[in-house]
Amino acid sequence: MAELEGAAHWKGLSQSRLSRRGLLASLGVAAVGFTLQACGQGSGGKGGGAGDKINFYTWDTYIGETTLADFEAANGIKVQTSYFATNDELFAKLKAGNPGYDVIVPSNEFVTRMRLADMLEPLDMAKLPNFKNIAPEFKEADYDAPPPRHSVPYTWLVIGIGYRKSRVNGTPDSWKWLFDSDLYKGRIALTSEAADLIRLGAKYLGKSLNNVDADTAKAVEDMLIRQKPNIKAFHEDNGQDMLLAGDVDLVLETNGDIAQIAVEDPDIGFVVPKEGSLLNADTLCIPKGAPRPEQAHKFINFLLDAEAGKHIIETILYPTPNAAAKLLMPESYRANPIIFPGGQGMDASEWGKFEGPEQARAFEEAITRVRAA
């Protein structure tokens, strides 16, 4: 029995548990533009037809295994991919002027931020007929307002509590168990994302997670300082790894990351706490100065296709806003309570708004105080 358990842990250790955001970020990979520059030079011409290529700037391990080859076979356009590890990296790279990217994948709050900084092209929806595949609740988006649309949703995520079923009492369906209770002392990992902590703390205190005022932020800070002795670690987006390995029994994580480990360990559960949580989306956009907007629209439209969408989800196992692609997926995905959580918590959840750099810095300093306390 002990041997079997040991083998399971080895399996967990040998397989990379780093998520797409974690791996590149921790390796500090920044200089990913080289391939792009080397390959982009030959195709200065803007003519259509065969031999075209576009530059796609996205997260690592975030597309179907054959998606790019399928697109090239169907449209004769080669897709040259480079990767970024954080939204900040994407933003910094494009801030200095678009070096030649045609399609990028920013998260929802960065869509707002990049629109404010006039870094995105409006999308020509007439060239994106497959937008009809997107589920109704994702067709309108506060983060991409007012019209015209500058983004289409690619995946979405919700933050919640990942937990080990055999080690908790019932379902830990409140933020209380992470933020305001010593019941699970030393078995809790929170994220090190300052804004997420303050916002979800505000949610627990019955406030909206948007427009958090200074008093609420202070109250959350004080609560977290009180809770700190019960917290084992602030994880670097590797919370699912800690949960799978048995380091902790409750972890603040996204449903996508927990879904990936739940496949391996049936003892893993996920719940969106009843007070509500934070919704995120990653989107497809065309940055200002994209050299080949025509082909970029073709590519985005292809990614919104039901069959192509299915191939993508099969690989990355994230929740999809693409209703037509979801229909093609097996029951085990469509009815997966981790990938598509429901109930009171989901109903009370909100999209985060971009609230400016000052707010981000204030949150960061509050969490620095918590960790220094």
Partner 1 sequence: MDQGVDWRRNKAGFLAVLTPPLGWLLLFFIVPMAVVWAYSFGTNEGIADIRISGTFANYARAIEPLYLGILAKSLAFAALATLVCLVVGFPVALAISFAPANLKTWLLIGVMLPFWTNLLIRTYALIALLRDEGIINNALGFAFGWAGFEPLRMMNTNFAVLVGLVYVHLPFMVLPLYAALDRLDRSLLEASLDLGAGHIRTIFAIVLPLAAPGIASGLLLTFIPVLGSYLAPDLLGGADSQMIANVIERQFKRANDWPFGAALAFMLMYLTFIGIALQSLARRKRERE
User: Which residue number, 238 or 283, has a Cβ lying nearer to partner 1?
Assistant: 238
- Binding residue for partner 1 (CB under 8 A) from 193, 275, 305, 355? 193
Rule CB under 8 A: is residue 95 a binding residue for partner 1? yes
Coil, strand, or helix at residue 149?
coil
Close Cβ partners of 8 (under 8 Å, ≥ 6 residues apart): 265
Q: For 336, phi and psi rounded to 5 degrees?
A: -70, 115
| Nearest 10 degrees: Cα torsion 113, 118, 120, 126 | 120
Rule CB under 8 A: is residue 245 a binding residue for partner 1? yes
User: Which residue number, 87 or 320, has a Cβ lying nearer to partner 1?
Assistant: 87
Rule CB under 8 A: is residue 236 a binding residue for partner 1? yes
Rule CB under 8 A: is residue 93 a binding residue for partner 1? no
Close Cβ partners of 170 (under 8 Å, ≥ 6 residues apart): none
Shortest Å distance, C-beta 198 to partner 1: 12
- Binding residue for partner 1 (CB under 8 A) from 48, 61, 72, 91? 91
Binding track, positions 194-223, relative to partner 1; x by CB under 8 A: xx----------------------------
Shortest Å distance, C-beta 232 to partner 1: 5
Whole-angstrom distance, CA of residue 148 vs CA of residue 363: 32
**From the CB of residue 86, how many other CB atoms can be counted at a distance below 10 Å?**
15
For 269-311, the DSSP string reads: EEE--TT--EEEEEEEE-BTT-S-HHHHHHHHHHHTSHHHHHH
**From the CB of residue 24, how many other CB atoms can be counted at a distance below 10 Å?**
20
Shortest Å distance, C-beta 79 to partner 1: 28
Give the range of 87-95, 141-149, 264-272, 287-295 binding partner 1 by CB under 8 A: 87-95
**Cis peptide bond prior to 148, omega within 30° of 0:** yes
Binding track, positions 254-283, relative to partner 1; x by CB under 8 A: ------------------------------
Token pair in block for residue 251: 């972890």
**Site size toward partner 1, by CB under 8 A:** 41
Residues that bind partner 1 (CB under 8 A): 2, 6, 9, 13, 26-27, 86, 88, 91-92, 95, 113, 116-117, 186, 192-195, 228-229, 231-234, 236, 238, 245-247, 356-357, 360-361, 364-365, 368-369, 371-373
